[in-house]
Amino acid sequence: MQRWPSTINGSAFQSPNDDAGLLFFMNHSDDPNYDLNNDTALRDIKNREEVTENYKLMQNWEKVFPWLQ
């Protein structure tokens, strides 16, 4: 549970097994290609390229992902 930022920020936990949405499979990058807030690609994403976001833009990211510091 400590690895789910929305739970740390007070939202209810939603299992990725319940609804396989894109955000459940998103990984971190310091140079992301996806903007979570606007639900848009930041650049062209090639076929088979991983879709990434910057975890450091999430509220309380340092509690959930301390290894990114």
pLDDT value for 29: 94
Amino acid at 50: E
Q: How many CB atoms within 10 Å of residue 37?
A: 7
pTM (2 d.p.)? 0.64
| Mean of pLDDT over the chain | 77
First to last CA, the chain: 20
Q: How confident is the model at residue 47 (pLDDT cuts 50, 70, 90)?
A: very high
- Could you report the per-residue pLDDT of 6-34, keeping only the tens digit for each? 656 666 555 556 555 566 667 889 999 99
pLDDT value for 45: 92
If phi > 0 it is left, if psi is from -120 to 50 it is alpha, else beta; for residue 30 that is alpha
DSSP β-ladder status, 27-28 and 52-53:
parallel
Q: Is 4 helix (H, G, I), strand (E, B) or coil?
A: coil
